[in-house]
């Protein structure tokens, strides 16, 4: 029952955003990708220590020990909010070993967010957690190559949320190629970055929203380049995942975080 309520709340929140409606539209079971994030494998405990599961059914990443970076379509509005629980420190959401659960105190949603780009938000936690953070890309230098995606969302289109964190890698897709696909003409090139295989098979999916898309920087450290935002179905051919382009918002994120 609690799961159902969580799922409903997530749909209600996402439904407020036109953009998210596109990605959350039910699809026929016949189109569901059979693969086990879709096409993923289990992450090892501690592999991505900055990963956060949010109680409304979204992902996120620790931007600072007390601030989670997620998607705007995962939250309702800017303001005091004690209704979100962040779970971190575990790949298995049911394991109590190493699990950290902290409530939110405040939500900051990207100003001007209307379901078209600007899909980022910050959640202030009641107390700092002792886990590594994920630095964000502040230039476009890393907006290319192969990206890692991870989350507890559906492992197939229309499928259940996952108990264990799944991970996968997806290649960068240019704005021009991405926009050429059916359903992607509204891509906001300056705000959004696409990733996935033309053949499909590997993708983020419902419930992964707000989670990070990241890669290694030149020093070999993880750096966040995207935030799971939307897609047409999950892991379909010629239908990449769309991610908020973190470098575009880096200074706005930093400025907002400094006020929280
Ligand atoms: N909007 C979805 C969510 O709320 C994420 C969709 C990602 N879709 C994709 N095909 N990459 O969880």
pLDDT in tens, 101-126: 999 999 999 999 999 999 999 999 99
Whether 119 is catalytic is yes
Q: What is the pLDDT of residue 37?
A: 84
Ligand 1 close to Cβ of residue 14 (< 6 A): yes
Residue where the block lists tokens 């939500």: 107
Task: Report the sign of the C-alpha dihedral through residues 16, 19, 24, 28, in that order.
Answer: positive
Residue where the block lists tokens 């599961």: 53
Whether 251 is catalytic is no
Residues 130 and 64: beta-carbon distance below 8 Å? no
Mean pLDDT value across residues 235-249: 98
Q: Which residues pair with 203 in a beta bridge?
A: 38
- Examine the pLDDT at 32 and tell me if it is beyond 50: no
To test the pocket of ligand 1, the residue of 119, 229, 238 to mutate (highest count of ligand atoms within 8 Å of its CB) is 229
Q: What is the pLDDT of residue 2?
A: 32
Whether 217 is catalytic is no
Residue 167 lies in a domain: yes
Q: List the catalytic residue out of 209, 229, 244, 247.
A: 209
Average pLDDT, the chain: 88
Compute the distance between CA of residue 242 and CA of residue 234 in angstroms, rounded to an integer. Answer: 11
Residue 18 lies in a domain: no
Q: What is the pLDDT of residue 10?
A: 37
Residue where the block lists tokens 């926009």: 179
Nearest CA to ligand 1 atom 11: 241
* 104 phi, psi to nearest 5 deg: -80, 160
| Number of DSSP helices (H) and strands (E) in the chain, helices first | 4, 14
User: Which of 24, 69, 109 is CA-nearest to residue 223?
Assistant: 69
Ligand 1 close to Cβ of residue 203 (< 6 A): yes
Nearest CA to ligand 1 atom 2: 206
Task: Tell me the CA–centroid distance for residue 128 and ligand 1, in Å.
Answer: 28
Residue 30 lies in a domain: no
Residue 212 lies in a domain: yes
Element (H or E) spanning 6, and its range? Answer: helix 2-15
Nearest CA to ligand 1 atom 6: 230
pLDDT in tens, 57-73: 999 999 999 999 999 99
To test the pocket of ligand 1, the residue of 196, 208, 212, 227 to mutate (highest count of ligand atoms within 8 Å of its CB) is 208
- Examine the pLDDT at 235 and tell me if it is beyond 90: yes
| Range 69-108 burial, b when 16+ CB lie within 10 A, else e | bbbbbbbbebeebeebebbbbbbbeeeeeeeeebebbbbb
DSSP state letter for 191: T
What domain count does the chain have? 1
Domain of 211, in residue numbers = 43-259
pLDDT in tens, 176-215: 999 999 999 999 999 999 999 999 999 999 999 999 999 9
Q: List the catalytic residue out of 119, 191, 203, 208.
A: 119
- Examine the pLDDT at 83 and tell me if it is beyond 80: yes
Residue 9 lies in a domain: no
Residue 50 lies in a domain: yes
Ligand 1 close to Cβ of residue 241 (< 6 A): yes
- Written as six digits, the tokens of 254 are 């930093």
Task: Tell me the CA–centroid distance for residue 47 and ligand 1, in Å.
Answer: 22
pLDDT in tens, 4-20: 333 333 333 333 333 33
Ligand 1 close to Cβ of residue 20 (< 6 A): yes
Residue 6 lies in a domain: no
Residue 2 lies in a domain: no
User: Which of 108, 139, 116 is CA-nearest to residue 191?
Assistant: 116
Q: Residue 136 is part of a domain; what is its CATH number? A: 2.40.10.10
Compute the distance between CA of residue 87 and CA of residue 110 in angstroms, rounded to an integer. Answer: 23
Compute the distance between CA of residue 14 and CA of residue 76 in angstroms, rounded to an integer. Answer: 9
Task: Tell me the CA–centroid distance for residue 129 and ligand 1, in Å.
Answer: 27
Q: Is residue 26 classed as helix, strand or coil in its secondary structure?
A: coil
- Written as six digits, the tokens of 74 are 């995962």
Task: Tell me the CA–centroid distance for residue 228 and ligand 1, in Å.
Answer: 6
């Amino acid at each position: 029952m609690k799961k159902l309520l969580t799922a409903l709340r997530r749909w209600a929140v996402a439904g407020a955003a036109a953009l998210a409606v596109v990605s959350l539209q039910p699809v026929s079971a016949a189109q569901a990708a059979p693969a086990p994030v879709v096409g993923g494998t289990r992450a090892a405990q501690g592999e991505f220590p900055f990963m956060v599961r949010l109680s409304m059914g979204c992902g996120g990443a620790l931007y600072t020990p007390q601030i989670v970076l997620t998607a705007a379509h995962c939250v309702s509005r800017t303001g005091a909010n004690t209704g979100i629980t962040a779970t971190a420190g575990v790949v298995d959401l049911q394991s109590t070993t190493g699990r950290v659960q902290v409530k939110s105190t405040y939500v900051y949603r990207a100003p001007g967010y209307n379901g078209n780009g600007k899909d980022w938000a910050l959640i202030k936690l009641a107390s700092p957690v002792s886990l590594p953070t994920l630095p964000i890309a502040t230039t476009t230098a890393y907006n290319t190559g192969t990206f890692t995606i991870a989350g507890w969302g559906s492992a197939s289109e229309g499928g259940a949320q996952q108990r264990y964190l799944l991970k996968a890698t997806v290649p960068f897709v240019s704005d021009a190629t991405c926009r050429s696909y059916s359903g992607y003409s509204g891509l906001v090139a300056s705000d959004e970055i696409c990733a996935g295989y033309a053949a499909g098979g590997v993708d983020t999916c419902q419930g992964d929203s707000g989670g990070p898309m990241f890669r290694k920087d030149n020093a070999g450290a993880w750096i966040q380049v995207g935030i799971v935002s939307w897609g047409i179905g999950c892991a379909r051919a010629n239908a990449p995942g769309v991610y908020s382009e973190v470098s575009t918002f880096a200074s706005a994120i930093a400025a907002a975080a400094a006020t929280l």
